[in-house]
């Protein structure tokens, strides 16, 4: 039933796909002619119709950057990177946007393991890891059967070794997919949209201001209380700020 | 009758006015209108005609200590006669309060004239009582010279301008001809102050307590209170030489003056400074009070990497510019900013401080890109409207292009500590992507979907299945004899079935029976059809440990099969043979090894 619904949705989307592509190109033309607001509007229409892509987010971010809207710009770059973590083009332009930020927050020093972790796990989305898991699972099965049935000693050895290797890779890929999935579920980030906002020590207007953050800064969401959100910034300091000042990624 | 009298009176007055130029005046003059209870006052009743029958008032509340003294003066100046006749009294008040001297009357050429009553203020005892004669120069000096501090606003807000103006009032009776000396000039603690001394002393006509005075403005001080609450302003004290005219005259007829050095001071004043209202106070308010404008201007908006630009924040207007601090500049972290240079262009006048102050920041961009500098807002309290106002600068966008020589200047030492290393980016801002590659947002993630689990566990589940199938295949292949046996059994059974079907057809029955027997043996003993002699069969069966009886039976069966081809047999015999064949085969099967 679910698949049937999905199929229907897909079919409907496929029928409006051409229309969306036309809108996308029209917006790109507007961008070229420096009508950035118009371009953003058209690209957002595509998003409202329930379609996205790294390219779409990236383009919206570029247009916001051109309009000097730092918060939305960084927000959409991050959205694009979430879908395509290895896109150098997106990374480059995100760098430009981050250069224009007021806050320079030194991130906490990372251990070598966490560096490796982000280097390896951050390479792919959890769906890509899941696909790899399936691939390694098939490979392992085939190689194991080959090992089992082949009679030649030499070939048996070869198949056994490769089967064990792909078995290990299978377990690794599955673990990483789980880890990345959990990571995404637990570590939710947001971008500061307001020009500057006071981060308070407790969710009250009259409480002490811990620090001030500015537009475009990425914060990690910890919890919410009414209209206030508990956030932590890259260097580990945390505090409360009004939920309206940030936009969840 | 009464009316007629009135008309006559008016006519008389008019005629008199025309005939005689000097009109009769009769008035009361007092030496002072305010006196202490221990002082005396001189009262003169002056007329310019020679009247008779002077009738003084009752002087209620006073005791007459002197008088009446009569004096007449008669002078001719330029043939013009001036005549005056005065009755003087010296009075001492008996009680405090407002006392009045009533009407006096005089009779001049058939007409009665009266004076208007005069009221006097009697206060409590004074230290230096005047004798009422007006002869004490000290008293005259004190009564005729006053120093006044005028405060423009006695209840200002914190940091709101107020002025103190010192005025020296001098009555027409005395004069000041030489320079005075400042004994004590006030210090204004808790105020920012600036004295504006008058360059030239201009004489003004003015009123002091309702009487005509001349005054000079000594100085004006501009004050900005720095503290709230009641603040005291110290008095200004002057030593003034005052020329008091005396009674005597010199030979030229001029009055001789006495110089009196008098110390006079403007009294202490208290100013109540109000705190700025806390209601609606903007967060970024840092104490500016007045009326200002605020701008932020860069000297260039497009520059190359490592070139410097100057960004100035300027506040101009009227208010406490001297103690004002400017809002700080917030720039993107990758722009290097140096400590600002403060420039002041302030004039202080009696109307307050006006002008502009600015802070000039030197900004050096380190990377290529577009850097928006968000609007900076500046808040101040406007005492005129009694409200807070905010002004914001425009957003400034700085474009930094790639420098021609991207070398690092070693002389530019970073002043800002803990700056994060700017991200090393490629030289250009990349263009948008033109390939949409859209996909539905609402798609279910592949990970943890049932398809994922099926694809994940499917191949793993196939492993034991394949292994099982392989095993079976192998065992089947390993058991070729068994297969053959099963084949033979099948054949034997098939032929026996064929034989049973043809029980009524003798020829076919025996042929089928023989064939099935042979087939059975072939399968069981692994012998070829060619080698099917009875002896060999018997030998093989014996070798395989089959008992003698079934072997004999078997041989008999084979014999009867051969016989039956050539001899007629009964149906009963056929039935017997079939039963025998089944029994023999099962028996052999049991015994064979």
CATH number at residue B220: 2.60.40
Is A228 part of any domain?
A: yes
- Give A63's contacts in chain B (Cβ within 8 Å): 432
Domain count, chain B: 4
Cα B33 from Cα B141, distance rounded (Å): 16
Most confident region among B115-124, B177-186, B251-260, B305-314 by mean pLDDT: B305-314
Residues A117 and A133 in one domain: yes
Do the Cβ atoms of A231 and A220 come closer than 8 Å? yes
Indicate yes or no: CB of B333 within 8 angstroms of CB of A195.
no
pLDDT of residue A240: 92
Indicate yes or no: CB of B447 within 8 angstroms of CB of A102.
no
Is B471 part of any domain?
A: no
Mean pLDDT of B157-173: 87
Is B407 part of any domain?
A: no
Domain count, chain A: 3
Tell me the nearest-neighbour CA distance from B486 into chain A, angstroms: 28
Is A153 part of any domain?
A: yes
Indicate yes or no: CB of B371 within 8 angstroms of CB of A99.
yes
SS3 A225: strand
pLDDT of residue A76: 93
Is B439 part of any domain?
A: no
Mean pLDDT of B385-403: 84
Residues A9 and A87 in one domain: yes
* Antiparallel, parallel or unpaired: β B118-123 and B34-36: parallel
Is pLDDT above 90 for B493?
no
Is B43 part of any domain?
A: yes
Q: Among A39, A69, A99, which residue terminates a domain?
A: A99
Indicate yes or no: CB of A127 within 8 angstroms of CB of B333.
no
Q: Among B123, B158, B193, which residue terminates a domain?
A: B123
What CATH number has the domain bearing residue A25? 1.25.40.10
Q: Mutation test of the interface with chain A: which of B373, B440, B469, choosing the one with the most A Cβ atoms within 10 A? A: B440
Is A182 part of any domain?
A: yes
Indicate yes or no: CB of B330 within 8 angstroms of CB of A102.
yes
Cα B577 from Cα B559, distance rounded (Å): 11
Is B330 part of any domain?
A: yes
Is pLDDT above 90 for B30?
no
How distant is the alpha carbon of residue B48 from its chain centre? 79
Residues B163 and B265 in one domain: yes
Residues B73 and B42 in one domain: yes
Is pLDDT above 80 for B532?
no
What CATH number has the domain bearing residue B549? 1.20.120
Q: Among B123, B153, B180, which residue terminates a domain?
A: B123
pLDDT of residue B425: 44
Q: Out of A10, A51, A214, whose CB is closest to B438? A: A51
Which band of pLDDT confidence, cut at 50, 70 and 90, is reported for residue B18?
Answer: very low
Q: Per-residue pLDDT tens for B246-293? A: 777 777 777 777 788 888 888 788 888 988 888 888 878 888 888 999
Other beta carbons within 10 angstroms of residue A31's beta carbon come to 23
Residues B255 and B332 in one domain: no
Q: Where are the alpha helices (DSSP H) in A100-149?
A: 112-121, 126-149
Q: Which residues pair with B241 in a beta bridge?
A: B261
Residues A41 and A83 in one domain: yes
Is pLDDT above 80 for B5?
no
Which band of pLDDT confidence, cut at 50, 70 and 90, is reported for residue B418?
Answer: very low
Cα B300 from Cα B203, distance rounded (Å): 55
What CATH number has the domain bearing residue B105? 2.60.40.10
- Give B375's contacts in chain A (Cβ within 8 Å): 195
Is A104 part of any domain?
A: no
Q: Out of B330, B422, B434, whose CB is closest to A99? A: B422
Is pLDDT above 80 for B45?
yes
Is A206 part of any domain?
A: yes
Q: Among A70, A99, A128, which residue terminates a domain?
A: A99
Q: Out of B395, B439, B455, whose CB is closest to A52? A: B439
Residues A156 and A197 in one domain: no
Residues A7 and A92 in one domain: yes
- Give B445's contacts in chain A (Cβ within 8 Å): 126-127, 130
Is B452 part of any domain?
A: no
Is A107 part of any domain?
A: no
Indicate yes or no: CB of A100 within 8 angstroms of CB of B432.
no
Q: Among B401, B431, B456, which residue terminates a domain?
A: B401
- Give A137's contacts in chain B (Cβ within 8 Å): 455-460
pLDDT of residue A164: 92
pLDDT < 70 positions in chain A: 1-18
- Give A99's contacts in chain B (Cβ within 8 Å): 332, 334, 367, 369, 371, 422-423, 425
Cα B168 from Cα B147, distance rounded (Å): 5
pLDDT of residue B510: 80
Is A174 part of any domain?
A: yes
Mean pLDDT of B559-570: 76
Do the Cβ atoms of B153 and B160 come closer than 8 Å? yes
Is B278 part of any domain?
A: no
- Edge-first strand order for the sheet with B41-47 is B26-30, B41-47, B80-93, B62-77
Residues A17 and A78 in one domain: yes
Size of chain A, expressed as the number of residues it contains: 249
Interface size, chain A vs chain B, as Cβ–Cβ contacts under 8 Å: 161
Residues B143 and B269 in one domain: yes
Is pLDDT above 60 for B404?
no
Indicate yes or no: CB of A96 within 8 angstroms of CB of B466.
no
What domain range is A124 assigned to? 112-186
Q: Out of B332, B372, B440, whose CB is closest to A50? A: B440
Which band of pLDDT confidence, cut at 50, 70 and 90, is reported for residue B2?
Answer: low
pLDDT of residue B405: 44
What CATH number has the domain bearing residue A227? 2.30.30.40
Cα B23 from Cα B344, distance rounded (Å): 70
Lowest mean pLDDT among B117-126, B161-170, B320-329, B464-473: B117-126
pTM for the whole thing? 0.52
Cα B329 from Cα B326, distance rounded (Å): 9
What domain range is B213 assigned to? 137-273
Residues A178 and A193 in one domain: no
pLDDT of residue B413: 43
Tell me the nearest-neighbour CA distance from B411 into chain A, angstroms: 23
Which band of pLDDT confidence, cut at 50, 70 and 90, is reported for residue B410?
Answer: very low
Is pLDDT above 80 for B171?
yes
Using a pLDDT cut of 90, give the percent of chain B over it: 1
- Give A9's contacts in chain B (Cβ within 8 Å): 440, 442
Cα B33 from Cα B39, distance rounded (Å): 12
Give the DSSP per-residue string, B172-225: TT-B--S--EEEEPPP-TTEEEEEEE-SS--EEEEEETTEEEEEEEEEEEEEEE
Is B445 part of any domain?
A: no
Q: Out of A52, A100, A127, whose CB is closest to B438? A: A52
Cα A186 from Cα A52, distance rounded (Å): 23
Indicate yes or no: CB of A68 within 8 angstroms of CB of B397.
yes
Q: Between B6 and B367, name the one with better pLDDT.
A: B367
**Which ipTM did the prediction report?**
0.72
Residues B141 and B117 in one domain: no
Indicate yes or no: CB of B436 within 8 angstroms of CB of A53.
yes
Q: Out of B418, B425, B437, whose CB is closest to A55? A: B437
Q: Between B489 and A227, name the one with better pLDDT.
A: A227
Q: Out of A28, A99, A106, whose CB is closest to B432? A: A28
Q: Among A186, A208, A229, which residue terminates a domain?
A: A186
Give the DSSP per-residue string, A148-197: HH---HHHHHHHHHHHHHHHHHHHHHHHHHHHHHHHHHH-EEEEE-SSEE
Is A50 part of any domain?
A: yes
């Amino acid at each position: 039933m679910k698949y049937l619904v999905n199929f229907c949705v897909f079919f409907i989307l496929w029928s409006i796909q051409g229309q969306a592509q036309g809108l996308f190109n029209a917006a790109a033309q507007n961008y070229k002619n420096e009508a950035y607001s118009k371009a953003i509007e058209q690209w957002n229409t595509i998003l409202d119709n329930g379609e996205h892509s790294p390219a779409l987010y990236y383009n919206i971010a570029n247009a916001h950057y051109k309009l000097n809207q730092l918060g939305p710009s960084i927000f959409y770059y991050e959205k694009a990177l979430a879908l395509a973590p290895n896109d150098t083009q997106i990374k480059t332009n995100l760098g430009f946007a981050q250069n224009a930020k007021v806050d320079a927050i030194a991130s906490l020093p990372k251990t070598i393991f966490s560096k490796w972790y982000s280097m390896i796990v951050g390479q792919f989305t959890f769906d890509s890891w899941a696909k790899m898991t399936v691939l390694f699972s098939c490979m392992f099965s085939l190689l194991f059967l080959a090992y089992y049935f082949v009679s030649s000693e030499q070939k048996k050895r070869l198949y056994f070794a490769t089967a064990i290797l792909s078995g290990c890779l299978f377990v690794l890929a599955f673990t990483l997919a789980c880890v990345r999935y959990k990571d995404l579920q637990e570590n939710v980030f947001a971008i500061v949209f307001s020009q500057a906002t006071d981060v308070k020590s407790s969710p009250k207007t009259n409480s002490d201001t811990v620090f001030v953050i500015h537009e475009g800064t990425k914060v990690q969401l910890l919890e919410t209380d009414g209209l206030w959100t508990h956030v932590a910034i890259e260097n580990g300091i945390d505090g409360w700020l009004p939920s309206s000042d940030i936009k969840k990624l | 009758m009464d009316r007629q009298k009135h008309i006559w009176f008016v006519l008389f007055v008019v005629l008199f006015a025309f005939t005689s130029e000097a009109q009769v005046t009769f008035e009361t003059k007092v030496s002072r209108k305010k006196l202490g209870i221990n002082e005396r006052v001189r009262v003169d009743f002056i007329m310019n005609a020679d009247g008779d029958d002077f009738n003084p008032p009752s002087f209620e509340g006073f005791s007459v200590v002197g008088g009446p003294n009569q004096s007449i003066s008669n002078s001719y100046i330029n043939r013009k006669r001036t005549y005056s006749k005065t009755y003087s009294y010296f009075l001492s008040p008996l009680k405090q309060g407002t006392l009045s001297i009533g009407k006096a009357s005089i009779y001049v050429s058939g007409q009665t004239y009266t004076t208007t009553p005069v009221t006097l203020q009697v206060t409590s005892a004074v230290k230096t009582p005047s004798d009422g004669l007006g002869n004490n120069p000290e008293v005259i000096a004190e009564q005729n010279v006053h120093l006044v501090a005028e405060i423009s606003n006695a209840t200002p807000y914190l940091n709101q301008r107020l002025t103190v103006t010192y005025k020296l009032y001098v009555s027409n009776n005395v004069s000041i001809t030489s320079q005075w000396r400042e004994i004590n000039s006030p210090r204004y603690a808790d105020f920012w102050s600036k004295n504006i001394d008058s360059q030239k002393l201009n004489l003004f006509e003015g009123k002091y307590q309702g009487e005509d005075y001349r005054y000079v403005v000594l100085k004006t001080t501009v004050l900005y209170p720095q503290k709230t609450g009641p603040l005291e302003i110290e008095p200004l004290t002057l030593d003034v030489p005052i020329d008091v005219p005396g009674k005597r005259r010199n030979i030229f007829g001029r009055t001789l003056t006495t110089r009196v050095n008098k110390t006079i001071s403007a009294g202490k004043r208290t100013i109540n400074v109000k705190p700025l209202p806390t209601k609606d106070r903007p967060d970024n308010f840092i104490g500016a009070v007045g009326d200002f404008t605020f701008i932020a201007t860069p000297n260039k908006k497009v520059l190359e990497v490592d070139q410097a630009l100057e960004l100035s924040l300027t506040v101009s207007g009227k208010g406490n510019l001297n103690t004002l601090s400017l809002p700080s500049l917030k720039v993107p972290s990758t722009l290097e900013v140096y400590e600002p240079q403060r420039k002041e262009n302030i004039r202080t006048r009696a109307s307050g401080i006006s002008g502009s102050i600015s802070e000039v920041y030197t900004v050096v961009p380190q990377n290529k890109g577009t850097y928006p500098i968000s609007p900076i807002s500046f808040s101040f309290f406007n005492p005129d409207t009694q409200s807070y106002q905010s002004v914001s600068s425009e957003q400034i966008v700085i474009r930094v292009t790639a420098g021609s020589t991207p070398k690092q200047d070693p002389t530019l030492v970073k002043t800002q500590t803990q700056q994060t290393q700017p991200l090393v980016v490629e030289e250009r801002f990349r263009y948008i992507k033109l390939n949409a590659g859209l996909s539905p947002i609402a798609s279910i993630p592949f990970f943890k979907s049932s398809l994922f689990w099926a694809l994940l566990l499917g191949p793993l589940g196939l492993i034991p299945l394949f292994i099982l199938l392989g095993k079976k295949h192998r065992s089947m292949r390993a058991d070729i004899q068994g297969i053959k046996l099963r084949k033979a059994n099948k054949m034997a059974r098939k032929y026996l079935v064929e034989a049973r079907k043809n029980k009524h057809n003798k020829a076919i029955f025996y042929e089928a029976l023989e064939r099935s027997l042979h087939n059975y043996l072939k399968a069981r003993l692994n012998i070829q059809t060619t080698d099917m002699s009875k002896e060999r069969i018997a030998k093989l069966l014996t070798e395989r440990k089959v008992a003698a009886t079934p072997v004999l039976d078997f041989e008999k069966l084979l014999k009867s099969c051969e016989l039956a081809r050539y001899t007629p047999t009964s149906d009963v015999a056929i039935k017997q043979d079939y039963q025998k064949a089944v029994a023999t085969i099962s028996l052999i099967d049991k015994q064979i090894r």
